[in-house]
Amino acid sequence: MSLVMNESRHLRERATRRQYRLMFVAGFPLFLIAALVLRVAGQAGSHTQLSLYTHAKALAGATIPMVFMG
């Protein structure tokens, strides 16, 4: 019984990781635009020393996990 539960948990975790990667890839252009707008507007704060790509990646990494909290 434990093997079946462990396997189903593994499949759920794998599906969750796949969904996260898909959301990251699909949403990254939006975060790139948001990072660019923040940079141009001067509201990037401490992220101005980061590259635009790194800033967008940080925005995505901070926002996308919120989807999985519910």
pTM: 0.71
Place of tokens 């020393």: 49
Distance between CA atoms of residues 31 and 60, nearest Å: 6
pLDDT digits (tens, 9 = 90+) for 35-51: 999 888 887 666 667 89
The 3-class secondary structure across 15-70, one letter per residue, is HHHHHHHHHHHHHHHHHHHHHHHHHHHCCCHHHHHCCHHHHHHHHHHHHHHHHHHC
pLDDT digits (tens, 9 = 90+) for 17-26: 999 999 999 9
Contact 44, 35 (CB under 8 A): yes
